[in-house]
Structure 1
């Protein structure tokens, strides 16, 4: 039985700044919705609390989820707090999505409610790009000092190793931190979208048009790229407050004929444009993950980005794209990538590598991983114990074979933590043990009666993939229970 199955009939509140129908919805909303609807499909009673926008309804049911809207861009925080106070005894768990500023749900819920904070990326430096003093300072205070105090000791979920590092280093969080990556958007990697790969160089860029995404860097690189490859075309998808300024910049640079501004596009059209391109470019100053990277990889298109938080997790150089030094010239980097993709065979091989990488991620797996975090904390609260989990970010990857694999599987299911991962292939086992070093991993293996095993510290990509490996498309096994 999966963790999702075990959460059937529980009452859950998801708090997110926007719902997926909001005009400004982006990757954070996709993450929240894709996971919430899988919780609902498994039988959980899910309420999504988000902001209200012009033309929206205060109450709505969609995909088995009750949507409650209230407040606006900033008023949603008060509306969410009021909702939790009115329904103090209604929810078993609250999943609080921090988009710069969290909802501070522990202030409004009783002590027997599980409160989990989900962080996509750290906004400490980005508050200056949107707010002036004193609001930028207030934002930093709320995200850092106030959040650290309100969520002390509670589980925190992040989407990448970069965000975990930022939560430790920039925010000073000492909480147990779990990594639950984004899933794979769109169709399965084996399903090719309509259309075909362009015979001439083409870039597809999908982004919200806001300052921190730095889409202007792409436009500024186009003149130099056109001098090398006059046939280059750039498809730019997305909308936002920077749209008009970027259109004017394209006209000033004289690249209007090479750049097409598509605005908001449907999922199908986005996949067509990704499949048409040789390359996607993500010039953001930082990301929590790199949703556009995996979207492009799903249809076989590699990505290029700067070596910055989040994007360095989504891109593996030589596998699914290129990473540039933060101070590198973007035009030079794109030119090198286009040269590497200049033959049909090179593009076909790149597509196979990208699709193998994308296949290791799925929203089903992400929902299961978040469900494990929720279930583990619910079990802790119901036992009326303080958490015995280590806040260590070390994880151990171990492989071994068993003479009695059925007995070993039973032992694995009963003795590992809910959030540990395991996979069995015949008599071979692969375990990913979180929050421990090699010494504690050896103790866990002794309880499984495992005499010999390959043990190594897991790296960031190991933790992202769980027990799956690029190309196998396999879902990880999960063990109910816990490890002391």
Structure 2
């Protein structure tokens, strides 16, 4: 948190006439392990829920299929969504397959949210249905943490070899560059991969009640399961309390590890410094994040790290190990610190708290955190996922492939047009749904996905642009969407095979 860094450019907001406007009246199913109101709902459920309700608000007919849990009705309408619950923790997969077979011709698109094991929706839908798979993070190693043989081996097989065959050629949505890398390297996916990051909490611009704690305070929000490794922070507390006797840890969340964590805190003699809040409301979570000096995320890996952005939104920096997902959510020197996986957690937290003890340093960190969180929004994420849905719908209806294959590179192109109005019409009509562009006067900037510099120049030449300068896009460009997301602002678009 010591290095100065420029604030990221604000994320462009979806505009009228964008992809969300063009999914109106489509019938779309979201398949997710749990629904947002499940007692064990977490970041994956927040992601599915926030995007689902924006699809519904845009006019799509949205059905949310998930597991049924005690006390939950099998059918209900909530937040503009048709909720269908069936099966249990594992039975939901068979129940979802049966639902798709019964409604085989009902859905234009199915978005399959993989929580370790996908729903394999292409097996149960017609070929003209747009089937997408959303991967938050790769679970290959985590199957060994949660299951014994043979369930762990079965989980790895389903996530890797079986998924690779069932979803071959279909678009995969990932939430971060780390997940994209894992899908390529660990799962061997050769599909087109699209990054659609998490957003930030609603109302994050409003200042929560209360003030920053006068004494060192940590707030941790997590599902209490083994892979989150909250026990590492409790084990670090004795050393931290020797340096900061007034330190307090607010631990929010529930899960099977809660009894063991309470016992561990008592055994270590730190129970007086820890408050176990259990599940808290959004408002209470924001209030506790705002009170804290720092949030700590000791997970073994994440798809992204939604709690990082939730803390950043109220000006609180984050500390985590340099592991997949968290290395994308945390920009060192901007919104927090990353520790080497072998580093001592107590030393890392102590160094961060010592720096934040200076009020001026805390104010600078808070400003950087808010600027980074402002680069993300659920509106923009929903727009980006809608773009992928529309792109796949056009592909399956035409039974043809785009000229650009699976490629994780992205290119920023800049050029000046003699006839800016005519060029804008060509760009809006010809680029792919998932590309982005912006115009300022006669100057254009485009972000082309799935190509290198040579392919980008060739694509622009097909649009009549021959004087563009191009460069590979960085991770921040890809995460926040590059230039202003003005694709589709003008209306109709060409089909993928007609475009560059």
TM-score, scaled to structure 1:
0.96
**Using CA pairs below 8 Å that are at least 6 residues apart, which structure has the higher relative contact order?**
2
Q: 1 CA distance for matches of 2:212 and 2:198?
A: 26
Partner of 1:477: 486
Partner of 2:295: 280
3-state SS in 2 of match to 1:230: coil
3-state SS in 2 of match to 1:46: strand
| TM-superposed deviation, 1:196 | 1.1
| TM-superposed deviation, 1:428 | 3.5
Structure 2 residue 423 is the aligned partner of structure 1 residue 408: yes
Structure 2 unaligned spans of 5+: 1-16
Count of residue correspondences: 477
Q: 1 CA distance for matches of 2:235 and 2:407?
A: 43
3-state SS in 1 of match to 2:264: helix
3-state SS in 2 of match to 1:197: coil
> Residues 404 and 451 of structure 2 are in contact (CA less than 8 Å); yes or no, is this contact kept in structure 1?
no
CA 435–256 in structure 1, closer or farther in 2 if over 3 Å, else same: same
> Residues 397 and 456 of structure 1 are in contact (CA less than 8 Å); yes or no, is this contact kept in structure 2?
yes
Structure 2 residue 276 is the aligned partner of structure 1 residue 261: yes
Partner of 1:293: 308
Q: 2:470 aligns with which of 437, 455, 464?
A: 455
| TM-superposed deviation, 1:448 | 4.2
Partner of 2:225: 210
3-state SS in 2 of match to 1:12: strand
Q: 1:167 aligns with which of 183, 187, 194?
A: 183
Partner of 1:199: 214
CA 351–71 in structure 1, closer or farther in 2 if over 3 Å, else same: same
| TM-superposed deviation, 1:286 | 0.2
Partner of 1:99: 115
3-state SS in 2 of match to 1:95: strand
3-state SS in 1 of match to 2:271: coil
> Residues 239 and 263 of structure 1 are in contact (CA less than 8 Å); yes or no, is this contact kept in structure 2?
yes
Partner of 2:4: none
Partner of 2:7: none
CA 400–344 in structure 1, closer or farther in 2 if over 3 Å, else same: farther
> Residues 186 and 295 of structure 1 are in contact (CA less than 8 Å); yes or no, is this contact kept in structure 2?
no
Q: After superposing the two structures, state which structure 1 stretch, 376-385 or 21-30, moved more.
A: 376-385
What pairs with 1:27-426 in structure 2 (closer than 5 Å)?
27-189=43-205, 191-426=206-441
Q: 1 CA distance for matches of 2:308 and 2:440?
A: 30
Partner of 1:471: none
| TM-superposed deviation, 1:342 | 1.3
> Residues 186 and 271 of structure 1 are in contact (CA less than 8 Å); yes or no, is this contact kept in structure 2?
no
Q: 1 CA distance for matches of 2:59 and 2:295?
A: 38
| TM-superposed deviation, 1:423 | 2.3
| TM-superposed deviation, 1:66 | 0.4
Partner of 2:11: none
| TM-superposed deviation, 1:233 | 1.1
CA 195–399 in structure 1, closer or farther in 2 if over 3 Å, else same: farther
Q: 2 CA distance for matches of 1:455 and 1:307?
A: 31
Q: 1 CA distance for matches of 2:51 and 2:178?
A: 21
Q: 2 CA distance for matches of 1:145 and 1:403?
A: 51
Q: 2 CA distance for matches of 1:408 and 1:284?
A: 48
Q: 2 CA distance for matches of 1:209 and 1:118?
A: 23
